[in-house]
A = this chain, B = another copy of it.
């Protein structure tokens, strides 16, 4: 058995750098991919359907959005909900950990002030 085997709930720990905090690195592993930060921040407004998310993110493609949502769901940040119909309705909402990104987004926005 592989020590690093994924139990299905958590992404395996990737270690890039022995001099940086592993918690920082695991979070950056999510944020250092295109769209993830913007998707989480957009879902702060409340549950959204796929088409509503795609509309808000404008230039994202459907395939990219679909792949990102699957990843964020696997990382425990986004929850996909199926509401019984008819018509059946599917939406995406932040988990508690997903909502925790709010403080990160605030810090990033403050920092972004020096970049704009």
Chain A residues at the B interface, C-beta cutoff of 8 Å: 13, 16-28, 30-38, 41-42, 45, 56-60, 75-76, 96-97, 100-101, 103-116
Interface of A, secondary structure class, is helix
Q: In the assembled complex, which residues on chain B have CB atoms less than 8 Å from the CB atom of A45?
A: 19
A37 & B31 in contact (Cβ 8 Å cutoff): yes
11 A-B Cβ contacts within 8 A? Answer: A19-B56, A23-B109, A23-B112, A27-B111, A27-B112, A96-B114, A97-B111, A97-B114, A100-B114, A103-B107, A104-B107
Stoichiometry, copies per complex? 2
Known: A25-B112, A27-B109, A28-B31. 6 other contacts (CB 8 A): A17-B58, A27-B111, A28-B38, A32-B32, A101-B111, A107-B107
